[in-house]
Structure 1
Amino acid sequence: MASEYTTTEYIQHHLANATMCNTDTGVAFNKACADAGFWAIHIDTMAWSIGLGILFLYFFRRVAKKASTGVPSKTQAFVELVVGFVNDNVVSTFHGRSALIAPLALTIFVWVLLMNLMDLVPVDVIPTIAGWIGQYGFGMDPHDVYIKAVPTTDLNLTLALALGVFALIIFYSIKMKGVLGFAKELSFTPFNHWAFIPVNLILELVTLFARPLSLALRLFGNLYASELIFILIATIGLWQLPLHFMWAVFHILVLPLQAFIFMMLTIVYLSLASEDH
Protein backbone atom coordinates (compact mmCIF):
# COMPACT_ATOMS: atom_id res chain seq x y z
CA MET A 1 0.00 0.00 0.00
CA ALA A 2 2.91 2.35 0.69
CA SER A 3 3.93 2.23 -2.99
CA GLU A 4 0.61 3.80 -4.05
CA TYR A 5 1.43 7.08 -2.29
CA THR A 6 4.30 9.41 -1.79
CA THR A 7 5.77 9.11 1.70
CA THR A 8 4.00 12.27 2.85
CA GLU A 9 0.64 11.16 1.44
CA TYR A 10 1.08 7.70 2.95
CA ILE A 11 1.72 9.10 6.43
CA GLN A 12 -1.12 11.62 6.17
CA HIS A 13 -3.55 8.93 4.99
CA HIS A 14 -2.71 6.63 7.91
CA LEU A 15 -2.97 9.43 10.46
CA ALA A 16 -6.38 10.63 9.21
CA ASN A 17 -9.57 9.48 10.93
CA ALA A 18 -12.71 8.36 9.14
CA THR A 19 -14.75 11.49 9.80
CA MET A 20 -18.48 12.06 9.41
CA CYS A 21 -20.26 15.40 9.68
CA ASN A 22 -23.46 17.19 8.74
CA THR A 23 -23.32 19.88 6.05
CA ASP A 24 -25.90 21.97 4.24
CA THR A 25 -26.12 19.28 1.57
CA GLY A 26 -26.43 16.38 4.02
CA VAL A 27 -24.01 13.90 5.61
CA ALA A 28 -20.41 14.27 4.41
CA PHE A 29 -17.17 12.39 5.03
CA ASN A 30 -13.52 13.28 5.58
CA LYS A 31 -12.32 16.07 3.27
CA ALA A 32 -15.77 17.65 3.11
CA CYS A 33 -15.72 17.81 6.93
CA ALA A 34 -12.60 19.98 7.13
CA ASP A 35 -14.58 22.98 8.46
CA ALA A 36 -17.04 21.03 10.62
CA GLY A 37 -14.88 21.43 13.73
CA PHE A 38 -16.49 20.19 16.94
CA TRP A 39 -19.48 18.65 15.16
CA ALA A 40 -17.42 16.13 13.19
CA ILE A 41 -17.48 12.54 14.48
CA HIS A 42 -14.53 10.17 14.13
CA ILE A 43 -16.51 7.05 13.32
CA ASP A 44 -13.47 4.75 13.32
CA THR A 45 -12.56 5.82 16.87
CA MET A 46 -16.18 5.32 17.96
CA ALA A 47 -16.48 1.93 16.29
CA TRP A 48 -13.20 0.45 17.54
CA SER A 49 -13.52 1.78 21.09
CA ILE A 50 -17.13 0.63 21.49
CA GLY A 51 -16.37 -2.70 19.84
CA LEU A 52 -13.39 -3.37 22.11
CA GLY A 53 -15.44 -2.31 25.13
CA ILE A 54 -18.16 -4.81 24.21
CA LEU A 55 -15.50 -7.48 23.69
CA PHE A 56 -14.14 -6.81 27.18
CA LEU A 57 -17.58 -7.00 28.78
CA TYR A 58 -18.55 -10.15 26.88
CA PHE A 59 -15.30 -11.97 27.64
CA PHE A 60 -15.22 -11.17 31.37
CA ARG A 61 -18.95 -11.86 31.79
CA ARG A 62 -18.63 -15.22 30.05
CA VAL A 63 -15.68 -16.23 32.23
CA ALA A 64 -17.52 -15.08 35.37
CA LYS A 65 -20.61 -17.14 34.49
CA LYS A 66 -18.50 -20.27 33.93
CA ALA A 67 -16.22 -19.74 36.93
CA SER A 68 -15.92 -22.65 39.33
CA THR A 69 -14.48 -23.10 42.80
CA GLY A 70 -12.48 -26.14 41.70
CA VAL A 71 -9.38 -26.18 39.55
CA PRO A 72 -9.76 -23.09 37.32
CA SER A 73 -9.30 -23.18 33.57
CA LYS A 74 -6.44 -21.19 32.05
CA THR A 75 -8.91 -18.51 30.96
CA GLN A 76 -10.43 -18.23 34.43
CA ALA A 77 -6.98 -18.14 36.00
CA PHE A 78 -5.96 -15.32 33.64
CA VAL A 79 -9.06 -13.24 34.45
CA GLU A 80 -8.61 -13.86 38.18
CA LEU A 81 -4.98 -12.75 37.85
CA VAL A 82 -6.05 -9.48 36.17
CA VAL A 83 -8.84 -8.83 38.68
CA GLY A 84 -6.54 -9.61 41.62
CA PHE A 85 -3.81 -7.35 40.22
CA VAL A 86 -6.21 -4.42 39.86
CA ASN A 87 -7.82 -5.05 43.25
CA ASP A 88 -4.44 -5.10 45.01
CA ASN A 89 -3.56 -1.72 43.52
CA VAL A 90 -6.93 -0.25 44.50
CA VAL A 91 -6.66 -1.53 48.09
CA SER A 92 -3.14 -0.16 48.50
CA THR A 93 -3.84 3.22 46.85
CA PHE A 94 -7.47 4.22 47.46
CA HIS A 95 -7.95 5.13 51.11
CA GLY A 96 -11.65 5.88 51.01
CA ARG A 97 -14.61 3.51 50.85
CA SER A 98 -16.44 3.13 47.54
CA ALA A 99 -17.87 0.18 45.65
CA LEU A 100 -17.24 2.00 42.37
CA ILE A 101 -13.46 2.38 42.38
CA ALA A 102 -12.39 -1.26 41.85
CA PRO A 103 -14.78 -1.94 38.91
CA LEU A 104 -13.85 1.45 37.45
CA ALA A 105 -10.14 0.69 37.70
CA LEU A 106 -10.62 -2.75 36.13
CA THR A 107 -12.63 -1.27 33.26
CA ILE A 108 -10.08 1.47 32.60
CA PHE A 109 -7.11 -0.89 32.69
CA VAL A 110 -8.53 -3.62 30.43
CA TRP A 111 -10.34 -1.27 28.02
CA VAL A 112 -7.36 1.05 27.53
CA LEU A 113 -5.06 -1.97 27.21
CA LEU A 114 -7.23 -3.50 24.46
CA MET A 115 -7.29 -0.20 22.57
CA ASN A 116 -3.52 0.14 22.95
CA LEU A 117 -2.90 -3.41 21.71
CA MET A 118 -4.42 -2.47 18.34
CA ASP A 119 -1.13 -0.67 17.80
CA LEU A 120 0.55 -4.06 17.29
CA VAL A 121 -1.53 -4.81 14.19
CA PRO A 122 0.60 -4.04 11.08
CA VAL A 123 -0.35 -0.56 9.92
CA ASP A 124 -1.39 -1.60 6.39
CA VAL A 125 -3.63 -4.55 7.28
CA ILE A 126 -6.81 -2.84 8.46
CA PRO A 127 -6.64 0.17 6.06
CA THR A 128 -6.11 -2.23 3.12
CA ILE A 129 -9.11 -4.37 4.12
CA ALA A 130 -11.18 -1.22 4.59
CA GLY A 131 -10.09 -0.03 1.14
CA TRP A 132 -11.21 -3.33 -0.44
CA ILE A 133 -14.57 -3.10 1.31
CA GLY A 134 -15.01 0.48 0.15
CA GLN A 135 -13.97 -0.34 -3.42
CA TYR A 136 -15.84 -3.60 -4.01
CA GLY A 137 -18.72 -3.09 -1.62
CA PHE A 138 -19.55 0.59 -2.13
CA GLY A 139 -17.74 1.55 -5.35
CA MET A 140 -15.42 4.00 -3.58
CA ASP A 141 -11.89 4.98 -4.48
CA PRO A 142 -9.64 3.17 -1.91
CA HIS A 143 -7.67 6.41 -1.54
CA ASP A 144 -10.81 8.01 -0.09
CA VAL A 145 -11.26 5.31 2.55
CA TYR A 146 -9.73 6.34 5.87
CA ILE A 147 -9.50 4.34 9.08
CA LYS A 148 -7.40 4.47 12.24
CA ALA A 149 -7.60 1.28 14.26
CA VAL A 150 -5.92 2.57 17.43
CA PRO A 151 -8.53 4.64 19.31
CA THR A 152 -6.02 5.98 21.83
CA THR A 153 -4.16 7.79 19.05
CA ASP A 154 -7.21 10.08 18.85
CA LEU A 155 -7.06 12.99 21.29
CA ASN A 156 -10.85 13.15 21.30
CA LEU A 157 -11.07 9.73 22.94
CA THR A 158 -8.33 10.26 25.52
CA LEU A 159 -9.87 13.61 26.47
CA ALA A 160 -13.28 11.95 26.80
CA LEU A 161 -11.83 9.34 29.16
CA ALA A 162 -10.03 12.02 31.16
CA LEU A 163 -13.15 14.20 31.41
CA GLY A 164 -15.05 11.22 32.79
CA VAL A 165 -12.38 10.87 35.49
CA PHE A 166 -12.53 14.64 36.11
CA ALA A 167 -16.30 14.46 36.64
CA LEU A 168 -15.75 11.74 39.25
CA ILE A 169 -13.06 13.86 40.95
CA ILE A 170 -15.55 16.72 41.33
CA PHE A 171 -18.29 14.32 42.45
CA TYR A 172 -16.18 12.68 45.17
CA SER A 173 -14.77 16.02 46.32
CA ILE A 174 -18.26 17.43 46.87
CA LYS A 175 -19.62 14.16 48.29
CA MET A 176 -16.89 13.86 50.93
CA LYS A 177 -16.39 17.52 51.79
CA GLY A 178 -19.61 19.21 50.75
CA VAL A 179 -19.78 22.24 48.46
CA LEU A 180 -18.51 24.61 51.13
CA GLY A 181 -15.79 22.21 52.24
CA PHE A 182 -14.59 21.77 48.66
CA ALA A 183 -14.61 25.53 48.13
CA LYS A 184 -12.69 26.01 51.39
CA GLU A 185 -10.10 23.44 50.33
CA LEU A 186 -9.54 25.34 47.08
CA SER A 187 -9.39 28.69 48.86
CA PHE A 188 -7.25 27.88 51.91
CA THR A 189 -4.71 25.40 50.51
CA PRO A 190 -1.72 25.56 50.72
CA PHE A 191 -1.72 28.91 52.58
CA ASN A 192 -4.28 28.88 55.37
CA HIS A 193 -4.99 32.61 55.50
CA TRP A 194 -7.73 34.70 53.93
CA ALA A 195 -5.20 37.11 52.39
CA PHE A 196 -3.85 34.30 50.19
CA ILE A 197 -7.24 33.19 48.82
CA PRO A 198 -6.54 34.53 45.27
CA VAL A 199 -3.13 32.82 45.20
CA ASN A 200 -4.56 29.58 46.58
CA LEU A 201 -7.39 29.56 44.04
CA ILE A 202 -4.97 30.00 41.15
CA LEU A 203 -2.67 27.23 42.40
CA GLU A 204 -5.44 24.77 43.25
CA LEU A 205 -7.50 25.36 40.09
CA VAL A 206 -4.43 24.93 37.89
CA THR A 207 -3.64 21.68 39.71
CA LEU A 208 -7.25 20.51 39.44
CA PHE A 209 -7.58 21.14 35.70
CA ALA A 210 -4.08 19.82 34.99
CA ARG A 211 -5.10 16.35 36.16
CA PRO A 212 -7.48 15.43 33.31
CA LEU A 213 -5.34 17.30 30.81
CA SER A 214 -2.23 15.37 31.79
CA LEU A 215 -4.14 12.07 31.73
CA ALA A 216 -5.38 12.71 28.20
CA LEU A 217 -2.15 14.09 26.74
CA ARG A 218 0.11 11.42 28.29
CA LEU A 219 -1.87 8.52 26.80
CA PHE A 220 -2.44 10.25 23.47
CA GLY A 221 1.17 11.40 23.09
CA ASN A 222 2.70 7.98 23.75
CA LEU A 223 0.34 6.08 21.46
CA TYR A 224 0.38 8.67 18.68
CA ALA A 225 4.20 8.68 18.65
CA SER A 226 4.24 4.88 18.66
CA GLU A 227 1.82 4.66 15.73
CA LEU A 228 3.80 7.26 13.80
CA ILE A 229 6.98 5.22 14.22
CA PHE A 230 5.20 2.08 12.97
CA ILE A 231 4.02 4.07 9.92
CA LEU A 232 7.52 5.40 9.25
CA ILE A 233 8.92 1.87 9.49
CA ALA A 234 6.30 0.69 6.98
CA THR A 235 7.50 3.21 4.39
CA ILE A 236 10.81 1.39 3.87
CA GLY A 237 9.21 -1.65 2.19
CA LEU A 238 10.29 -5.24 2.82
CA TRP A 239 13.09 -4.15 5.15
CA GLN A 240 10.38 -3.09 7.59
CA LEU A 241 9.83 -6.63 8.94
CA PRO A 242 12.78 -6.91 11.39
CA LEU A 243 12.35 -3.29 12.51
CA HIS A 244 8.61 -3.77 12.95
CA PHE A 245 9.23 -6.90 15.02
CA MET A 246 11.76 -5.17 17.29
CA TRP A 247 9.53 -2.14 17.83
CA ALA A 248 6.52 -4.42 18.48
CA VAL A 249 8.46 -6.46 21.07
CA PHE A 250 9.43 -3.24 22.85
CA HIS A 251 5.79 -2.17 22.80
CA ILE A 252 4.58 -5.34 24.45
CA LEU A 253 5.95 -3.68 27.60
CA VAL A 254 5.00 -0.08 26.81
CA LEU A 255 1.32 -0.62 25.92
CA PRO A 256 0.31 -2.31 29.21
CA LEU A 257 2.39 0.28 31.08
CA GLN A 258 0.37 3.14 29.59
CA ALA A 259 -2.90 1.45 30.57
CA PHE A 260 -1.52 0.85 34.08
CA ILE A 261 -0.43 4.49 34.46
CA PHE A 262 -3.85 5.75 33.37
CA MET A 263 -5.53 3.40 35.87
CA MET A 264 -3.19 4.27 38.76
CA LEU A 265 -3.45 8.02 38.26
CA THR A 266 -7.23 7.69 38.20
CA ILE A 267 -7.16 5.82 41.52
CA VAL A 268 -4.75 8.35 43.05
CA TYR A 269 -6.81 11.36 41.93
CA LEU A 270 -10.03 9.84 43.26
CA SER A 271 -8.30 8.92 46.52
CA LEU A 272 -7.15 12.52 46.95
CA ALA A 273 -10.66 13.75 46.16
CA SER A 274 -12.11 11.40 48.80
CA GLU A 275 -9.86 12.59 51.62
CA ASP A 276 -11.70 14.77 54.12
CA HIS A 277 -9.16 17.12 55.70
Structure 2
Amino acid sequence: MDRSGLSFCQLEQKLDDAETKLSKERFSHLDTDKALRRVRIHKQTYEDFIALARSQDIPGLHRIFKISNQYGWSAEKLMEKTQKALDGVYHPKSFSDLEFDLATTIYELGGSAALYALQKSPLSPPARTTLISRRQDYKLRMTVGSVTMTDILANIKTMFKDVKPGKAGMTLSMDEVASDGRLCYLVDSDEIGGLREHSGKELPSVKMGKNLDVVRAVTRAIRDGKIHTGQEVFVAAVARNDDADCGAKPVLLIPTC
Protein backbone atom coordinates (compact mmCIF):
# COMPACT_ATOMS: atom_id res chain seq x y z
CA MET A 1 0.00 0.00 0.00
CA ASP A 2 1.02 3.59 -0.52
CA ARG A 3 0.34 6.47 1.83
CA SER A 4 -3.17 6.95 0.37
CA GLY A 5 -4.12 3.57 1.66
CA LEU A 6 -4.70 2.12 -1.86
CA SER A 7 -3.27 -1.17 -2.98
CA PHE A 8 -1.20 -1.60 -6.12
CA CYS A 9 -4.17 -3.01 -8.03
CA GLN A 10 -6.37 -0.11 -6.98
CA LEU A 11 -3.73 2.40 -8.03
CA GLU A 12 -3.39 0.65 -11.38
CA GLN A 13 -7.16 0.77 -11.88
CA LYS A 14 -7.23 4.44 -10.95
CA LEU A 15 -4.48 5.13 -13.47
CA ASP A 16 -6.39 3.28 -16.19
CA ASP A 17 -9.52 5.27 -15.40
CA ALA A 18 -7.57 8.52 -15.60
CA GLU A 19 -6.07 7.56 -18.96
CA THR A 20 -9.50 6.59 -20.30
CA LYS A 21 -10.94 9.90 -19.16
CA LEU A 22 -8.01 11.78 -20.68
CA SER A 23 -8.46 9.93 -23.98
CA LYS A 24 -12.16 10.86 -24.08
CA GLU A 25 -11.30 14.48 -23.35
CA ARG A 26 -8.71 14.43 -26.13
CA PHE A 27 -11.22 13.04 -28.69
CA SER A 28 -13.83 15.52 -27.52
CA HIS A 29 -11.33 18.31 -28.06
CA LEU A 30 -10.57 17.01 -31.58
CA ASP A 31 -14.29 16.86 -32.40
CA THR A 32 -14.67 20.41 -31.14
CA ASP A 33 -11.78 21.55 -33.36
CA LYS A 34 -13.35 19.87 -36.38
CA ALA A 35 -16.72 21.46 -35.63
CA LEU A 36 -15.11 24.87 -35.28
CA ARG A 37 -13.30 24.44 -38.60
CA ARG A 38 -16.59 23.51 -40.30
CA VAL A 39 -18.31 26.52 -38.76
CA ARG A 40 -15.50 28.81 -39.98
CA ILE A 41 -15.78 27.32 -43.49
CA HIS A 42 -19.58 27.76 -43.52
CA LYS A 43 -19.20 31.31 -42.23
CA GLN A 44 -16.71 32.15 -44.99
CA THR A 45 -18.95 30.55 -47.62
CA TYR A 46 -21.95 32.58 -46.49
CA GLU A 47 -19.86 35.75 -46.51
CA ASP A 48 -18.73 34.96 -50.07
CA PHE A 49 -22.35 34.27 -51.03
CA ILE A 50 -23.57 37.59 -49.60
CA ALA A 51 -20.75 39.42 -51.41
CA LEU A 52 -21.69 37.71 -54.68
CA ALA A 53 -25.41 38.46 -54.28
CA ARG A 54 -24.64 42.11 -53.51
CA SER A 55 -22.42 42.62 -56.53
CA GLN A 56 -24.20 40.55 -59.23
CA ASP A 57 -27.72 40.16 -60.63
CA ILE A 58 -28.22 36.42 -60.22
CA PRO A 59 -30.98 34.91 -62.43
CA GLY A 60 -33.73 33.23 -60.44
CA LEU A 61 -32.08 33.88 -57.06
CA HIS A 62 -35.39 33.66 -55.18
CA ARG A 63 -36.03 30.24 -56.75
CA ILE A 64 -32.55 29.08 -55.78
CA PHE A 65 -33.41 29.88 -52.14
CA LYS A 66 -36.71 28.01 -52.48
CA ILE A 67 -35.04 24.90 -53.94
CA SER A 68 -32.25 25.10 -51.36
CA ASN A 69 -34.79 25.06 -48.54
CA GLN A 70 -36.74 22.24 -50.18
CA TYR A 71 -33.75 19.91 -50.53
CA GLY A 72 -31.71 21.11 -47.54
CA TRP A 73 -28.63 22.26 -49.44
CA SER A 74 -25.44 23.00 -47.57
CA ALA A 75 -23.84 26.43 -47.72
CA GLU A 76 -21.27 25.10 -50.17
CA LYS A 77 -23.88 23.66 -52.55
CA LEU A 78 -25.93 26.85 -52.35
CA MET A 79 -22.84 28.82 -53.35
CA GLU A 80 -22.05 26.35 -56.15
CA LYS A 81 -25.55 26.50 -57.65
CA THR A 82 -25.63 30.30 -57.38
CA GLN A 83 -22.33 30.59 -59.25
CA LYS A 84 -23.58 28.20 -61.94
CA ALA A 85 -26.77 30.25 -62.33
CA LEU A 86 -24.64 33.36 -62.75
CA ASP A 87 -22.51 31.56 -65.37
CA GLY A 88 -25.64 30.49 -67.25
CA VAL A 89 -25.14 26.73 -66.84
CA TYR A 90 -27.86 26.26 -64.18
CA HIS A 91 -31.43 27.43 -64.68
CA PRO A 92 -33.49 27.10 -61.47
CA LYS A 93 -37.06 25.97 -62.08
CA SER A 94 -39.76 25.66 -59.40
CA PHE A 95 -41.74 28.52 -60.97
CA SER A 96 -44.65 30.02 -59.09
CA ASP A 97 -48.12 30.55 -60.59
CA LEU A 98 -47.42 34.29 -60.69
CA GLU A 99 -44.28 33.71 -62.78
CA PHE A 100 -46.19 31.45 -65.18
CA ASP A 101 -48.95 34.05 -65.54
CA LEU A 102 -46.44 36.87 -66.06
CA ALA A 103 -44.51 34.89 -68.69
CA THR A 104 -47.73 33.96 -70.49
CA THR A 105 -48.89 37.59 -70.56
CA ILE A 106 -45.53 38.77 -71.91
CA TYR A 107 -45.56 36.05 -74.58
CA GLU A 108 -49.12 36.87 -75.63
CA LEU A 109 -48.47 40.61 -75.86
CA GLY A 110 -44.83 40.78 -76.96
CA GLY A 111 -44.21 37.41 -78.59
CA SER A 112 -41.23 35.10 -78.36
CA ALA A 113 -38.68 37.92 -78.72
CA ALA A 114 -39.99 39.78 -75.67
CA LEU A 115 -40.08 36.64 -73.54
CA TYR A 116 -36.56 35.66 -74.66
CA ALA A 117 -35.23 39.09 -73.76
CA LEU A 118 -36.81 38.90 -70.31
CA GLN A 119 -35.25 35.48 -69.77
CA LYS A 120 -31.84 37.17 -69.82
CA SER A 121 -32.88 39.38 -66.90
CA PRO A 122 -32.56 38.46 -63.18
CA LEU A 123 -36.27 37.48 -63.22
CA SER A 124 -35.52 34.59 -65.62
CA PRO A 125 -39.18 33.60 -66.24
CA PRO A 126 -40.25 30.27 -67.82
CA ALA A 127 -39.31 29.71 -71.46
CA ARG A 128 -41.86 29.47 -74.26
CA THR A 129 -41.46 25.69 -74.43
CA THR A 130 -42.20 25.46 -70.70
CA LEU A 131 -45.42 27.40 -71.17
CA ILE A 132 -46.77 25.14 -73.90
CA SER A 133 -48.27 22.52 -71.61
CA ARG A 134 -49.99 25.18 -69.49
CA ARG A 135 -51.28 27.23 -72.45
CA GLN A 136 -52.52 24.30 -74.54
CA ASP A 137 -56.04 23.81 -73.22
CA TYR A 138 -57.19 22.06 -76.41
CA LYS A 139 -55.34 19.52 -78.52
CA LEU A 140 -56.38 20.28 -82.09
CA ARG A 141 -55.85 18.05 -85.09
CA MET A 142 -53.67 19.47 -87.88
CA THR A 143 -54.72 18.58 -91.41
CA VAL A 144 -52.10 16.81 -93.52
CA GLY A 145 -52.64 16.97 -97.28
CA SER A 146 -56.16 17.66 -98.49
CA VAL A 147 -58.88 18.98 -96.20
CA THR A 148 -61.03 16.23 -94.71
CA MET A 149 -64.28 16.38 -92.78
CA THR A 150 -62.78 13.94 -90.27
CA ASP A 151 -60.29 16.54 -89.09
CA ILE A 152 -62.88 19.32 -89.01
CA LEU A 153 -65.44 17.25 -87.07
CA ALA A 154 -62.75 16.12 -84.59
CA ASN A 155 -61.78 19.76 -83.93
CA ILE A 156 -65.42 20.82 -83.59
CA LYS A 157 -65.93 18.10 -81.00
CA THR A 158 -62.81 19.24 -79.11
CA MET A 159 -63.62 22.95 -79.14
CA PHE A 160 -67.37 22.79 -78.51
CA LYS A 161 -67.61 19.84 -76.10
CA ASP A 162 -68.13 22.15 -73.08
CA VAL A 163 -70.51 24.57 -74.85
CA LYS A 164 -74.10 24.30 -73.70
CA PRO A 165 -76.40 23.38 -76.61
CA GLY A 166 -78.80 26.01 -77.85
CA LYS A 167 -79.92 27.87 -80.95
CA ALA A 168 -77.47 30.52 -82.12
CA GLY A 169 -76.17 31.93 -85.35
CA MET A 170 -72.66 30.99 -86.42
CA THR A 171 -69.92 33.09 -88.02
CA LEU A 172 -67.13 31.47 -90.03
CA SER A 173 -63.81 33.35 -90.08
CA MET A 174 -60.77 32.41 -92.17
CA ASP A 175 -57.26 33.82 -92.20
CA GLU A 176 -53.60 32.83 -92.36
CA VAL A 177 -51.06 33.18 -89.55
CA ALA A 178 -47.28 33.03 -89.80
CA SER A 179 -45.57 29.82 -88.68
CA ASP A 180 -42.01 28.62 -88.07
CA GLY A 181 -41.87 26.80 -91.39
CA ARG A 182 -40.67 23.48 -89.96
CA LEU A 183 -41.83 19.90 -89.84
CA CYS A 184 -43.24 18.05 -86.84
CA TYR A 185 -44.34 14.55 -85.92
CA LEU A 186 -48.05 13.98 -85.32
CA VAL A 187 -48.26 11.20 -82.75
CA ASP A 188 -51.97 10.43 -83.12
CA SER A 189 -51.82 9.81 -86.86
CA ASP A 190 -48.12 8.79 -87.17
CA GLU A 191 -47.68 11.41 -89.91
CA ILE A 192 -45.19 14.14 -90.76
CA GLY A 193 -46.90 17.51 -90.33
CA GLY A 194 -45.88 20.94 -91.56
CA LEU A 195 -45.82 20.32 -95.32
CA ARG A 196 -47.95 22.58 -97.49
CA GLU A 197 -51.34 21.30 -98.60
CA HIS A 198 -50.31 20.23 -102.14
CA SER A 199 -47.35 18.08 -101.06
CA GLY A 200 -49.46 14.92 -101.21
CA LYS A 201 -49.31 15.01 -105.01
CA GLU A 202 -45.52 14.54 -104.92
CA LEU A 203 -45.37 11.98 -102.11
CA PRO A 204 -47.04 8.57 -101.94
CA SER A 205 -47.40 8.86 -98.16
CA VAL A 206 -46.34 10.96 -95.19
CA LYS A 207 -46.92 8.25 -92.59
CA MET A 208 -43.73 7.39 -90.69
CA GLY A 209 -44.31 3.65 -90.50
CA LYS A 210 -41.63 1.34 -89.10
CA ASN A 211 -38.57 2.69 -90.92
CA LEU A 212 -37.08 5.95 -92.22
CA ASP A 213 -38.03 5.55 -95.89
CA VAL A 214 -40.73 8.24 -95.73
CA VAL A 215 -38.40 10.63 -93.87
CA ARG A 216 -35.74 10.17 -96.56
CA ALA A 217 -38.31 10.67 -99.33
CA VAL A 218 -39.60 13.89 -97.73
CA THR A 219 -36.03 15.16 -97.25
CA ARG A 220 -35.13 14.53 -100.89
CA ALA A 221 -38.31 16.18 -102.16
CA ILE A 222 -37.70 19.30 -100.05
CA ARG A 223 -34.06 19.55 -101.16
CA ASP A 224 -35.08 19.12 -104.80
CA GLY A 225 -37.69 21.87 -104.45
CA LYS A 226 -40.60 19.57 -105.31
CA ILE A 227 -42.40 20.27 -102.04
CA HIS A 228 -42.18 23.00 -99.41
CA THR A 229 -42.77 23.43 -95.73
CA GLY A 230 -45.71 25.60 -94.84
CA GLN A 231 -44.66 29.16 -94.10
CA GLU A 232 -48.17 30.02 -92.90
CA VAL A 233 -51.09 28.14 -91.36
CA PHE A 234 -54.56 28.58 -92.81
CA VAL A 235 -57.04 28.75 -89.93
CA ALA A 236 -60.79 28.48 -90.12
CA ALA A 237 -62.66 29.38 -86.92
CA VAL A 238 -66.31 29.33 -85.95
CA ALA A 239 -67.91 31.77 -83.49
CA ARG A 240 -71.37 31.49 -81.92
CA ASN A 241 -73.46 34.67 -82.06
CA ASP A 242 -74.58 34.38 -78.48
CA ASP A 243 -74.02 36.05 -75.11
CA ALA A 244 -71.99 33.07 -73.83
CA ASP A 245 -69.17 31.12 -75.51
CA CYS A 246 -69.04 33.63 -78.33
CA GLY A 247 -65.28 33.50 -78.94
CA ALA A 248 -63.96 32.21 -82.26
CA LYS A 249 -62.91 28.57 -82.00
CA PRO A 250 -60.56 27.11 -84.66
CA VAL A 251 -61.83 24.01 -86.43
CA LEU A 252 -59.35 23.75 -89.31
CA LEU A 253 -55.55 24.07 -89.30
CA ILE A 254 -53.61 23.41 -92.49
CA PRO A 255 -50.07 24.55 -93.46
CA THR A 256 -49.83 26.55 -96.66
CA CYS A 257 -47.34 28.58 -98.63
> Is this a same-fold pair by TM over 0.5?
no
Larger fraction in helix: 1
Instruction: Give the TM-score of the pair, scaled to structure 2.
Output: 0.23
Higher strand share: 2
Larger radius of gyration: 2
